[in-house]
Amino acid sequence: MRQSKLFTKTRKEAPKDEVSKSAQLLIKAGYIKKEMAGVYTMLPLGLRTLQKIQEIVRKNMNKIGGVEMNLTALQDPNLWEKTGRWDDKVLDVWFKTKLKNDTEVGLATTHEEPLTNLMKDHISSYNDLPVYPYQFQTKFRNELRAKSGIMRGREFLMKDLYSFSESKEQHDEFYEKIKKAYFDIYEECGIGDKTFLTFSSGGSFSKYSHEFQTETDAGEDIIYYSPSKKIAVNDEVYNDEVLKELGLEKSELVEKKTAETGNIFTLGERFSEPLELIFDTKEGERKPVFMGSYGIGIGRLMGVVAEILSDDKGLAWPESISPFDVHLVNVSGDNEDSVKLSDEIYEHLTQNGIDVLYDDRKKGVGEKLGDADLIGISKRIVIGVKGIESGEFDLYNRLNDKTEKVSESQIMNLEFIKKNGNN
């Protein structure tokens, strides 16, 4: 992509009503556009980063047996009435509307009900279990608070996986696998060392659920973390009884401000029983399927990474989710030699499978480098007259703020570019 052809532009200021640092940076850098509170358009740079996070999640869900599908957003009230969740007093974030024939429908906040109903066509015996369908789908939630940018949206992309097992033992085995898969996701996105497995309320589903909480000043949650046990307790279940049950000493717990970046629930028979998802066991009995649900907000995760991996100059993406592999910046304007070499590098790298954002704009060096810092692509190659004369060019790592000198032949060496400038 030539930057002169990228229709989105950087801007000096974010909207005055945007209080979240991540949203301010993403708007200023041209990643997202705010349409209204809690609703954001993904511009080309934002979409590329979102899709890279999505692919990391997809890879890890497939690795543990997930099967991808896509459910509808429009929801039939009849299913939700069977589980008691159509009532706004029970589930208070519904967006509801009516069809032309006056039939009421809802926009899905989550998908336990419709997927449980669908699986009645596919699960009848223990031979059909376990199964782990998942999807990436836009969810709609009528949140009272929508002031944290893409970290708390009213319309947002979510990965939700649902497990269908023949027993609690089979469920528990998968539950442990998905814990590890989630940590692998956060590690690859660059926030593994700041993310903690956290005990929280299971609500109407079970005694506890587990959240994955990531330390950030922009967080809305408080957790108490045990460095020795590598687990944390959410503020909502922080009491002596819970600490005793988990074997935690209050004196060693560290208070942290965090944002939730994922959650996993044991659902048991909460949905399979009222919706009659029943199977034949090996012993010939009829039992409800044992279920679990596992969510990650893709945009929320992107926002949390932007909060943490940024500085006073702008965003600083890890290589795994940077919108482009390399930001190629020609800082010598119309200089014939600089343009010629920049064009050659751009063509060579792109033809060999490296995604390059090439800043070929007719702008000053200060503006170009300032924009590059704001956009935050993981690797930057700077081409200019001084570099051509000396035979050395800057290869800059945005995340660790380090620069190394490289030659033209090194830049053209694909393996060198791939392995250098890494996190």
Strands 254-268 and 208-215: antiparallel
pLDDT over 70 (residue 420): no
- With pLDDT > 70 as the criterion, what percentage of the chain qualifies? 99
pLDDT, tens digit, 9 for 90 and up, residues 271-281 = 999 999 999 99
pLDDT confidence tier of residue 417, bands split at 50, 70 and 90: confident
pLDDT over 60 (residue 421): no
pLDDT score of 206: 73
Q: Which CATH number fits domain 324-419: 3.90.10.10, 3.60.20.10, 3.40.50.800, 3.40.50.300?
A: 3.40.50.800
CATH number of 10-311: 3.30.930.10
- With pLDDT > 90 as the criterion, what percentage of the chain qualifies? 91
pLDDT over 50 (residue 422): no
The DSSP result for 332-379, as a single string, is STT-HHHHHHHHHHHHHHHHTT--EEEE--S--HHHHHHHHHHH--SE
pLDDT over 80 (residue 204): no
Phi and psi angles of residue 283, each rounded to the nearest 5 degrees, phi first: -85, 0
Could you give the CA distance from residue 368 to residue 356 in angstroms, rounded to a whole number? Answer: 15
Could you give the CA distance from residue 178 to residue 165 in angstroms, rounded to a whole number? Answer: 14
pTM of the predicted model as reported, rounded to 2 decimal places: 0.95
Could you give the CA distance from residue 346 to residue 237 in angstroms, rounded to a whole number? Answer: 54
Residue with the larger pLDDT of the pair 79 and 16:
79
Q: Which ranges in the chain are annotated with CATH 3.30.930.10? A: 10-311
Nearest to 2 by CA among 332, 340, 350: 350
pLDDT, tens digit, 9 for 90 and up, residues 360-381 = 999 999 999 999 999 999 999 9
Q: Which ranges in the chain are annotated with CATH 3.40.50.800? A: 324-419
H helix or E strand, kind and range, residue 383: strand 379-383
